[in-house]
Structure 1
Amino acid sequence: MKRIPIMAFVLMAGQTFAQQRLNNASFMHAPESVATDNNSYYIADIGEGANPTKKDGNGIIFRMNKKGDHQVLATGLDAPKGAFILHHTLFVADIDKVKGYDITSGAQLYNIDLAPATAFLNDIAAINDSTLVVSATDVNKLFLVHLGKNPRAEELVYTNPIKGTNGVVFDARSKKLYVCGFGSDNTPSGQIGYIDMNAAQKVFTPLTNRLGYYDGIALTDHHTQLIISDWVAFEKKGVLLKLDLASGRVITLNEELIAGPADFTLDAAGNAIVPAMLEANVLKYTISK
């Protein structure tokens, strides 16, 4: 296999911006992921106890409006993560299942079982109108989930495994699947990189040699930069990073540190909507383009 070039990085303080708490009350337990249809925010909450792998039935999906008012969309989940909206359906990764809910009624539409291949599904993205990709943090793998009348899942085979496979986002223009990892053995050894989905032999190619506890990842609307969240530590030390795809340069965006920046999303205006999992809030950050 060819040697993979690793771009140099520069970690530096970037522009700073104030954070805004979007929820007007403390109603969440452990929000791990948020998605938006630009009218409402859909929050996947692991539930009381914040155990990401326990089948305890206390996971909740909240819908919150832009005023910060909330209502329960669905209950009875175990530890929902990886919220993603496709075709009016909110998909979440719930331990070993991919579940889908109508974003208006909350009716459950999908319940796709990936056990025993994994017990820690994490993030979700769409490859096309009928195919999802979901990360499995515990086994350092990615799975393709094919929707339709008879949904099925298959492993996405690639070389150069990603430790603690976590955040995923797909660029339909370049056909690159960008992935970041949370690391392994309780060490911040996660990487940021991509897989060329057009390639016959798929390889995970790192974009920087900066390592971290990486969680969420998003692509800016001009397709030239990635935004990534890094917990840094299991306390209020988390950061949002911007990685320039052309140069590999990495800068830190926030000045005020975040308590567990989990799987975030970018809204239509380019704001980062970030669940601060350890303090049970959802925060908004304005990112200049």
Structure 2
Amino acid sequence: MHKSYGIISVFAVVASLFPGPAHAGPAREVWKVSGFKTPESALYDKAHQRLIVSNINGAPDAVDGNGFLSLVSLDGQIIQMDWASGFDAPKGMAIVGNKLFISDITKLRVVDLDTGKIIETLAAEKAVFLNDVTASANGDVFVTDMLADRIYRYSGGKIDLWLESAGLGAPNGIIADGNRLIVGSWGKGVHPDFTTDKPGGLLEVDMATKAVTPFPQATAFANVDGIVVLARSIYLSDPLKGALYRVVAGQAPQLVAQFKPGDVDIGSDDETLYVPMMNEGELFALKINALN
């Protein structure tokens, strides 16, 4: 079994070799806030006009009860650092109605958005390392299992294995887009420190047929983590390189921002991109129109 604690140390090693700026520059940065504990994901909560940040607060595979969720205002102020607790290593998140779904190693947690209380915990059978979460238009919730080449689906109150395919290439990021899932492959040949023999890229999974199709011109270029879809653009992060890419259908990926390694599961509203920096314990906001 892979020992996932190596991912943080490898980010740190790469950052020391290529220090670079922690952010993309003042022309693009709207704000920055610090004090998080291994922040992994940032999610825009439209109904409550706030951001939710998942804090691993330890090793990404440790069942230690240290994980928690933070609330941040849209202007970069901490509303509540420890808003929801009782997690081990919370990562990706998605909202359906007034429920927040969070991946937590081998479990899917469900939180009440009003109270921050965990109201349900569902074990994903044979899961190894659940990572990102997304919700489709009909309320189904999809969860990647990065180290098992799987996608699970929560529907009708149950979580079941939905797709298992080597073609997923260690699926990390995932986002529902109409009748398809856009999946970010971490790559082939994942080592214990999370480096890979071959980097991944973007995939499309048809929700009806479950067919897996690589994006033209967007394969084998990045260890893909967070994914955001805005208009006709897809933004994705590569935390091993500290890179932020923009992908437009039929075109080669474009590097639009460079960070220190550790830019993980990005989130967005219509105007702003939110970037958690795992090593620095920071979250910052970028103007999307400055990236294009």
* TM bracket (short chain): 0.7 to 0.9
**Do 2:31 and 2:76's aligned partners in 1 also have CA atoms closer than 8 Å?**
no
Match of 1:171 in 2: 177
| Match runs of 1:22-61 below 5 Å | 22-23=32-33, 26-38=34-46, 39-47=49-57, 49=58, 51-61=59-69
Task: Give, in whole Å, the separation in 1 of the partners of 2:103 and 2:264.
Answer: 14
- Unaligned 5+ runs, structure 2: 1-23
Contact 1:124 1:132 in 2 (8 A): yes
Correspondent of 2:266 among 247, 264, 267? 264
After superposition, residues 166-205 of structure 1 pair within 5 angstroms as 166-172=172-178, 175-183=179-187, 184-185=190-191, 186-187=195-196, 189-199=199-209, 202-205=211-214
* Unaligned 5+ runs, structure 1: 1-14
Q: 2: distance between equivalents of 1:259 and 1:228? A: 14
CA offsets 1:144-179 (integer angstroms, 9 cap, x no match): 1114xxx2122223655222210001112xx12100
State the AA in 1 paired with 2:245: L
Aligned equivalent of 2:248: 244
Residue matched to 1:273: 274
Residue pair 1:243, 1:250 contacting (<8 A) in 2 also: yes
Q: Distance in 1 between matches of 2:66 and 2:145?
A: 21
Q: Among the aligned pairs, what percent are the same residue?
A: 24
Give the Cα–Cα distance (whole angstroms) in 2 for the partners of residues 158 and 136 of structure 1. Answer: 9
Deviations along 1:195-220, whole A, 9 cap, x unmatched?
Answer: 12233x52233432342221001111
What is the letter of the counterpart of residue 248 of structure 2?
Answer: D
1:96 to 95, 106, 117: 106
1:6 maps to what in 2? none
Report deviation, 1:89.
1.7
Q: Aligned pair in 2 of structure 1 residues 18, 268: CA closer, same or farther (>3 Å)?
A: closer
Q: Which has the higher helix share?
A: 2
Taking structure 1 as the reference length, the TM-score comes to: 0.82
Alignment of 1:44-193 (within 5 A): 44-47=54-57, 49=58, 51-65=59-73, 66-71=75-80, 72-115=82-125, 117-147=126-156, 151-157=157-163, 159=165, 161-172=167-178, 175-183=179-187, 184-185=190-191, 186-187=195-196, 189-193=199-203
One-letter code aligned to 2:150: K
Alignment partners' CA distance in 2, 1:280 and 1:251: 26
Q: Secondary structure at the match of 1:161?
A: helix
Mapped contact 1:101–1:110 kept (Cα < 8 A): yes
Query: In 1, distance between residues paired with 2:161 and 2:149?
Result: 11
- Asked if the contact 1:126–1:132 (Cα under 8 Å) also holds between the matched residues in 2, the reply is yes
SS of 2:61 mapped into structure 1: coil
Matched, 1:253 2:256: yes
State the AA in 2 paired with 1:241: Y
CA separation in 1, counterparts of 2:153 and 2:118?
A: 20
Give the stretch that moved more between structures: 132-141 or 96-105. Answer: 96-105
